[in-house]
Amino acid sequence: MLEIRNLHKKFGQNEVLKGIDLSLKSNEILSILGSSGSGKSTLLRCIAKLENSQYDELRCGSNVGFMFQNYALFPHLSVYDNIAFALNKLSKKEADDKINELLAKFGIQGLKDKKPDQISGGQAQRVAFARAIAAGAKLLLLDEPFSNLDQGLKQALRVELKDMIQKEGLSAIVVTHDIDDAYYLSDKIALIDGGKILDIGTPNKLFYSVKDEKSAQMLGGLNYIHSDLTSQDKFFDWIKSRNNIFAYSEIYMGGEFEANVISKSFIGLFYKIELEYKGIRFYTLWPSCLEISNSVKFGFYN
């Protein structure tokens, strides 16, 4: 579906993408996660050929649909005409049949005469999606699809979008700086920093075999221990076996080690707790329904 080898992009002297390799199979959703300015949007624009770039290979078929931030519906056109815009090569009758089929499929028949500013964010997403399908997209490129949406709507739309992509048998690349978007949506996540891909893999594999501190920071929920951990200790040996990176979730309450509680933040379902053990500090999450004293026993999942 998509194959990229050694893609470079420069703006003047500024090399923004530095040898990107990526591949995507049919029916896969890939998220590109990185901080601001890391090159995410530029990569998406290069894939869509909206920017020139240099590469050994860039193959993605011709049916590429770009869904921009806020869905970029034409404000002066009705929902019906927004979808019709993608069908200008069909006869009026063929286009009408196709539009009605798509309106029914995405449950938006009742909105066909409304303008984009008269519908909700979720409805706008469905219209944009219907328009991309009408245009024959097989690979969808989505740039920050959920920015500017509140948390509740965002969670609902993530589920709906994934569902629509899978039902239609499409592939998608989603650019985001929100790790939760990446986890919810993706079959694979690519971490990008300074125009290079640091790591790529399934969400679970990426999280539990993080390669370096930068990737750990992007993925969140991971401790990075800077100390050399020279003293003989079972917990230290385990940390070293993990290249000094381990997840908050790999520490449990009870167990053979004793630590001081340095700080405790209530974050809803859990407390985020900072523990100190033999001079090192790390975080873990414990159920917020439990009382937590100043000193606690802990263990680690091996």
Ligand X SMILES: Nc1ncnc2c1ncn2[C@@H]1O[C@H](COP(=O)(O)OP(=O)(O)OP(=O)(O)O)[C@@H](O)[C@H]1O
CB of 109 to ligand X, least distance (A): 35
Within 10 A of 132 (CB to CB), how many other CB atoms are there?
Answer: 27
Min dist CB 120 to ligand X, Å, is 25
Q: Binding ligand X by CB under 6 A: which of 2, 22, 30, 40? A: 40
Number of residues that bind ligand X (CB under 6 A): 11
Nearer to ligand X, 177 or 264 (CB): 177
Nearer to ligand X, 12 or 254 (CB): 12
CB contact at 8 A, 51 and 9: yes
68 vs 300, which CB is nearer to ligand X? 68
181: exposed, middle or buried (Cβ count in 10 Å: 0-12, 13-18, 19+) = buried
Q: Pick from 260, 257, 239: which is nearest to 297 by CA?
A: 257
Stretch that binds ligand X, among 37-45, 88-96, 203-211, 245-253 (CB under 6 A): 37-45
* The pairing of beta strand 171-176 with beta strand 139-143: parallel
Of 28 and 193, nearer to ligand X (C-beta) is: 193
Minimum Å gap between C-beta 46 and ligand X is 9
Q: Give the up-direction half-sphere exposure of residue 154: CA atoms within 13 A in the CB hemisphere.
A: 16
298 close to 284: Cβ distance less than 8 angstroms: yes
Instruction: Mark the segment that binds ligand X (CB under 6 A) among 31-39, 58-66, 116-124, 211-219.
Output: 31-39
Contact window for ligand X (CB under 6 A) among 29-37, 58-66, 181-189, 283-291: 29-37
Stretches 39-47, 59-67, 199-207, 217-225: which one binds ligand X (CB under 6 A)? Answer: 39-47
Asked if 91 touches ligand X (CB under 6 A), the answer is: no
Tell me which residue has tokens 């790591």: 199
**Please, which residues have CB within 8 angstroms of residue 54's CB and are 6 or more apart in sequence?**
7, 8, 9
Q: Is 38 a binder of ligand X (CB under 6 A)?
A: yes
Contact between 52 and 195 (Cβ < 8 Å): no
Is residue 11 part of the contact set for ligand X (CB under 6 A)? yes
**What's the min distance (Å) between Cβ of 20 and ligand X?**
12
Indicate whether 42 belongs to the interface with ligand X (CB under 6 A). Answer: yes
Q: Alpha carbon 215 to chain centroid distance?
A: 14
Q: Yes or no: say if 119 and 80 are a contact pair by the CB < 8 Å rule.
A: no
Closer residue to ligand X (CB): 42 or 125: 42
Q: Which of residues 165-184 bind ligand X (CB under 6 A)?
A: 177
Q: How far is the CB of 194 from ligand X (least distance, A)?
A: 10
In the chain, the DSSP E strands lie at 2-11, 14-24, 29-33, 57-59, 64-67, 139-143, 171-176, 188-193, 196-201, 222-224, 245-247, 251-266, 270-277, 280-287, 295-300
* Residue with Cβ nearer ligand X (68 or 248): 68
Find the DSSP H helices in the chain: 40-47, 79-84, 92-105, 121-134, 151-167, 179-185, 203-208, 213-219, 234-241
Nearer to ligand X, 50 or 104 (CB): 50
Of these, 24, 34, 99, 191, which contacts ligand X (CB under 6 A)? 34
For binding to ligand X (CB under 6 A), which residues are involved? 11, 16, 34, 36-42, 177
